[in-house]
Amino acid sequence: MNLGERSYFSAFTDGIGIFVTRFQNRYTEKRINDQSKQTFMKKTYFYLAIIAGSLLTIAAVHAPTNRASVADIKSISALTFGPDGVLFIGDSKSATVFAVNTKDVKKQKPTAIEMKNIDQKIAAALGTEATNITITDMAVNPQSKKLYIAVQASEGTPVLLRLEGDKIEAVSLKDITATAVVLNNAPAEDAKDQRGRSLRISTISDLGYSEGKLLVSGLSNHQFSSSFKSIPYPFTSKQDEATLEIYHAAHGRYETSAPIKTFTTAVVNGRKYLVASYTCTPLVLFPMDELKPGTHVKGRTVAEMGSGNTPIDMITLKNGNESFLVLANTKHPVAKVDYKNIASFEGTLTEPVKGTAGVNFTATPMTNVSQMDKLDDNQVVLIQKKSNGDVDLFTANGSSL
């Protein structure tokens, strides 16, 4: 462990962050054997305060409006990578998506990522027990092929970790630039109860990035409806974001707006679609070119995946020239859907059915998968609770699922 290592919440602007780091390194990476150095240090605190204050003033005046402090991250609900090592961090507690440049851009060939009892190992690295942490999401950097893991401690502190081989390390964002987009930029509307507590409850359920756009789906306590945004990236001070009303029909009879739990994008019959799964497990397709600001878009329900279940993660994998959708669920096993079948299913579910319906899907033997992301076009990284209670991280070939 390096001296001077700091949590990624520690820095608040680039200039200050680097300055502090250098300052710390100056005093911490060297052996301390000289009292005079400590005296010098006391004086330097005072000068540092003045310089730091000046730098902060400069930063405050000149920072772009969407420049963000990673210190403001209150929670990590969702992760996804964008272009060139940019990691999008969905922070439900502050209703903000942070885009941080990890600078982790060295291209690497994918190698299987594995760690047995990952929950216990992460807990030990954080100095607690596995029951005191929750792995909230994970994402593979498509360039470095390293796995980034978001963890939340039971008392609420969010942590971003990265696996380096069999080593767990903290992702220090102290020298990393970040921008952010606030999803619910209406603090004035944030109602408080009689004791002054905020009543608004919302979470970011999933993030995706496709062709220059960050896609965000959300859940909220105050409306059972879809909160889906498409936000151009890089973020600008003037956001041109599309908030969509997305509806889907149950068997052509009842229409509801409902929150999307997880989604991916895929090309079906030469057209790009948003493939979304809902809290009540219908699989619904929306043409991407119809998702425009302020539009009321009705999706095409192509499958119902069964009851008592919530989808967790969704990815698209390839097997030769064929591509298929892989869907992890809370109750049901991991399901695979061949995009050929989705392409040939031109209609929408119209007749009430019991159980599952629509496009055929294959239920794999893989149960109790809590996290999933693609390592490359053919391989998937999963966290699964085994029958003996162990929680393992491993890599599987998509075609063998």
Partner 1 sequence: MVMLICSPPMEAAYKNLMHDTFRLGPPLSLIFFAFFFVSACRYKNQEKIAIVWSGNQATGISVPIQLLKDEDESPVVPELEVRLQNTPAAMLGDYSISDGVVLFRPLIPFSRGLRYQIFYRKKMIGGMTIPVANASEAPSLVAIYPSADTVPENLLKIYLQFSSPMREGEAMRHIALLNSKRDTLEGVFLDLQPELWNKDRTVLTVWLDPGRIKRELAPNLQMGNPLQNGESYSIAVSDHWKDVQGLTLRQPYSRKFFVGPRDSLSPQHREWKMEIPAKQTIQPVKISFPESLDYFLLAETISILDKDGSVIKGKIHIDPEERGFAFLPEKQWHPGRYRMHIAPYLEDIAGNNMERLFDRDIRKAQTSTGKEVFEREFIIPRQ
290 binds partner 1 (CB under 8 A): no
Smaller CB separation from partner 1, 71 or 399: 71
List the one residue from 15, 117, 243, 251 that touches partner 1 (CB under 8 A).
251
Q: Check residue 294 for interaction with partner 1 (CB under 8 A).
A: no
Kindly tell me which residue out of 113, 249, 275, 284 binds partner 1, with binding defined by CB under 8 A. 249
At its nearest, how many Å lie between partner 1 and the CB of residue 204?
Answer: 9
Nearest distance in Å: CB 102, partner 1: 17
Q: Scanning residues 38 to 77, which ones bind partner 1 (CB under 8 A)? A: 38, 41-42, 45-46, 48-49, 52-53, 56-57, 69, 71, 74-75, 77
User: What is the nearest approach in angstroms of partner 1 to the Cβ of residue 207?
Assistant: 13
SS (H, E, C) the chain: CCCCCCCCCCCCCHHHHHHHHHHHHHHHCCCCCCHHHHHHHHHHHHHHHHHHHHHHHHHHHHCCCCECCHHHCCCCCEEEECCCCEEEEEECCCCEEEEEECCCCCCCCCCCCCECCHHHHHHHHHCCCHHHEEEEEEEECCCCCCEEEEEEECCCCEEEEEEECCEEEECCCCCCCEEEEECCCCHHHCCECCCCCECCCEEEEEEEEECCEEEEEEEECCCCCCEEEEEECCCCCCCCCEEEEEEEEECCCEEEECCEEEEEEEEECCEEEEEEEECCCEEEEEEHHHCCCCCEEECEEEEECCCCCCEEEEEEEEECCEEEEEEEECCCCCEEEEHHHHHHCCCCCCCCCCCCEECCCEECCCCCEEEEEECCCCEEEEEEECCCCCEEEEEEEHHHC
Q: Is 234 in the site for partner 1 (CB under 8 A)?
A: no
Tell me if 279 contacts partner 1 by CB under 8 A: yes
Chosen residue from 22, 192, 272, 386 binding partner 1 by CB under 8 A: 192
Piece of 108-116, 187-195, 232-240, 338-346 that binds partner 1 (CB under 8 A)? 187-195
CB of 336 to partner 1, least distance (A): 19
Among 99, 207, 219, 231, interactor with partner 1 by CB under 8 A: 219
Site residues for partner 1, 86-115, by CB under 8 A, read 92-93
Show the binding pattern over residues 133-152: x = contacts partner 1 (CB under 8 A), - = does not.
Answer: -x-x---------------x
For position 177 contacting partner 1 by CB under 8 A, the verdict is no
